[in-house]
Amino acid sequence: MKALFDILKFITRHPLNGKAPFSAVWRFFKWQLGSRLLPGPTVVPFVEPTKLLVRQGMTGATGNIYCGLHEFEDMALVLHSLRPGDLFVDVGANVGSYTILAGGVCGASVLSVEPIPTTFGDLLDNIRLNHLESLVSPKNLGIGARRGTIKFTESLDTVNHVLAENEAGSEKGIEVPLETLDRLLEGLSPSVIKIDVEGYETEVIQGAASTLTNVNLLALLLELNGSGTRYGFDEDRLHNSLLEKGFVPCLYQPFERKIIPIDGKNPDAGNTLYVRNIAALQDRVATAPAFTVLGQAI
């Protein structure tokens, strides 16, 4: 019951549902009932021309059904900062919500990385559904500080992660190739990078030293929600390493189109926005076109 209450509280307090919370709750219960009566993948509308193939249990993707943009500030930042010709890097793409926004709505090129083979199949389905094969380069890989192979969990949906040492005996793992961002992006110039790897962010950043010096990098969205402790990582140390590289932690206010510098990590969300050139990113978001989500312009 508490889990249901928490979900409903999130939905009704979501910025895109503030004017119509009961409609959002109706979408939630409609999906819950419909997906049980008719199980299997369902095509649902996403933002403007795009669609998502969703099935019961896809917690991140179904959040878009209830809220339009499940992770509102971060997804809006992607919408407002990218243009055709830009490169968006989606590390931990899952079924592709961010990938579809970047490629299908903004017209940017996308390098989309998802390590779990079954989830990678769902990602490919969403790329094909939106006819984005020419814009999206999908990679079935893990990303870390070195090349090689690594074991992941495989049955935890959006929270699949690299197996930690203390999980190795109790969790069934799947071995996948491991690559670094620097090698994967050699010769490429990303505009925005999103990294959501359930606590393994420290290793990903260690393998991205050259990538993070690129002057064309407008924004880095990094999940820092405490999950790094499962590997013994200190996320404060990771945060400070980004400050030393010249990045500034910021908040994004989508309705106002404002980039706001802050002290420390984002206290209200799992993701923190890091920006090196605030003026350049501010100009991008201020001049982006409006997009319609759940009948609202953002």
Could you read off the pLDDT of 84-136 as tens digits, one per residue? 999 999 999 999 999 999 999 999 999 999 999 999 999 999 999 999 999 99
What was the pLDDT predicted at 169? 58
- The CB density around residue 24, as the number of other CB atoms within 10 Å, is 23
Q: Could you write out the DSSP letters of every residue in the chain?
A: -HHHHHHHHHHHHSGGGTT-HHHHHHHHHHHHHHHHHS-S-EEEE-STT-EEEE-TT-HHHHHHHHHSSSSHHHHHHHHHH--TT-EEEEET-TTSHHHHIIIIIS--EEEEE---HHHHHHHHHHHHHTT-TTTEEEE--EE-SSSEEEEE--SSGGG--BPPGGGTTTS--EEEEEE-HHHHTTT---SEEEE--TT-HHHHHHTTTTGGG-TT--EEEEE-SSGGGGGT--HHHHHHHHHHTT-EEEEEETTTTEEEE-SSS-TTSSEEEEES-HHHHHHHHHTSPP-EETTEE-
What was the pLDDT predicted at 185? 98
Could you read off the pLDDT of 240-267 as tens digits, one per residue? 999 999 999 999 999 999 999 999 999 8
- Domain 71-293, classified CATH 3.40.50.150, yes or no: yes
What does pLDDT average to over the chain?
94
Low-confidence ranges of the chain (pLDDT < 70): 168-171
What was the pLDDT predicted at 262? 97
Domain with CATH 3.40.50.150 in the chain: 71-293
